[in-house]
Amino acid sequence: MEVKPLNVEELMQSFQNKDNNKTERNVSKDPLKWDKTEFLKLLIMQLKYQNPMNPVDNEGFVEQLSQLTALETSQNTYNLLKEMKDSFDNIESTFKNSAESLKQASVLNIIGKKAVVLGDRFSVEDTENPVEINFKFSEPNELPDRFRMEIYDNAGNLINYYTILSSTLKDGEGSFNWDLRDNNGILVPKGEYKVIFKDFDGNIINDGGILTEGSVDGVKFLKEGQVSLIINGNVYNFEDIEEIK
């Protein structure tokens, strides 16, 4: 006798014709949602409602048992892989939390210490002496031969600008002594000022900033593990710190 593979649709239709209500209660109509229990129920019903004149032969029965065994093996493999993934996720989460805790603890230890940070703002507290503006660029080879250093007040007004030659930089670092006067020669008041570097086409040069030294007055812990430091009243990213003294 020819052995035919298990035809789910034909079996379901046959069982529903014999006992429709019972089949709907016990076996899901969607084979994609079946597990080994559903297949076992289906196999039992097949034996129960088989044609006495043409019963399932031994080879066909063994083939269906093999299908059931393969399904169970696949499910067990899936469950094992899922458990392994969950375990790795838990380990990764624990390691990440531990690393964040160590980072926060180390950051708290630098409160009160002097820090050099890369930013774009500085404060003028003494108008009797020039201010030395130190700056740094991460990719000095990409700089134009000359560029502008523009100084703005806290309201965003352009106070003055100066030309910087790239040839004067050493390892991407340079300095400029500002006499604290605007473009009209008037002495500027005390306060906070901002520096922006631009090429002569007006494009902002983003890979640099000014180096500011000050005392770390506080720490802010932000979302996703980010940390900010309060230095001289300004907030800086932890990644912008160049040196802790």
Q: What is the pLDDT along the chain (245 residues), one digit of tens a residue?
A: 444 444 544 544 544 554 444 444 454 555 545 566 776 777 777 767 666 666 656 566 667 667 767 767 777 787 778 878 877 776 666 556 555 656 666 677 778 888 888 889 888 988 889 999 999 999 999 999 999 999 999 999 999 999 999 999 999 999 999 999 999 999 999 999 999 999 999 999 988 899 988 888 888 777 766 778 888 778 888 778 888 77
Spatial separation of the C-alpha atoms in residues 153 and 194, rounded to whole Å: 6
Tokens 């169970």 belong to 72
Last residue of a domain, one of 88, 107, 126: 107
Residue 89 sits in the same domain as residue 129 = no
Coil, helix or strand for 81? helix
Instruction: Read off the amino acid at residue 80.
Output: L
Residue 89 sits in the same domain as residue 177 = no
Residue 46 sits in the same domain as residue 6 = yes
Residue 78 sits in the same domain as residue 155 = no
Coil, helix or strand for 3? coil
Residue 13 sits in the same domain as residue 64 = yes
Provide the residue range defining the domain that includes 96: 1-107
Last residue of a domain, one of 107, 141, 173: 107
Residue 135 sits in the same domain as residue 153 = yes
Handedness of CA 80, 81, 87, 91 (dihedral sign): positive
CATH code of the domain covering residue 218: 2.60.40.4070
Burial of 135 (0-12, 13-18, 19+ CB in 10 A): buried
Residue 92 sits in the same domain as residue 190 = no
Residue 136 sits in the same domain as residue 37 = no
The whole-number pLDDT of residue 125 equals: 87
Taking every pair of Cα atoms in the chain, the longest distance, rounded to a whole number of angstroms, is 114
The whole-number pLDDT of residue 225 equals: 65
Considering its fold, how many domains does the chain have in total? 2
Nearest Cα residue to 113 out of 241, 230, 231, 245? 245
In this structure, what token pair is assigned to residue 163? 């030309």
Residue 142 sits in the same domain as residue 87 = no
- Which residues are CB-contacts of 4 (< 8 A; sequence separation ≥ 6)? 60
Residue 200 sits in the same domain as residue 181 = yes
Residue 101 sits in the same domain as residue 118 = no
Last residue of a domain, one of 55, 74, 107: 107
- Which residues are CB-contacts of 202 (< 8 A; sequence separation ≥ 6)? none
pTM here is 0.53
Element (H, E) at 77: helix 58-108
Residue 125 sits in the same domain as residue 101 = no
The whole-number pLDDT of residue 117 equals: 86
The whole-number pLDDT of residue 224 equals: 66
66 φψ region: left (φ > 0), alpha (ψ -120 to 50), beta (else): alpha
Q: How far is CA 192 from the centre of its chain?
A: 33
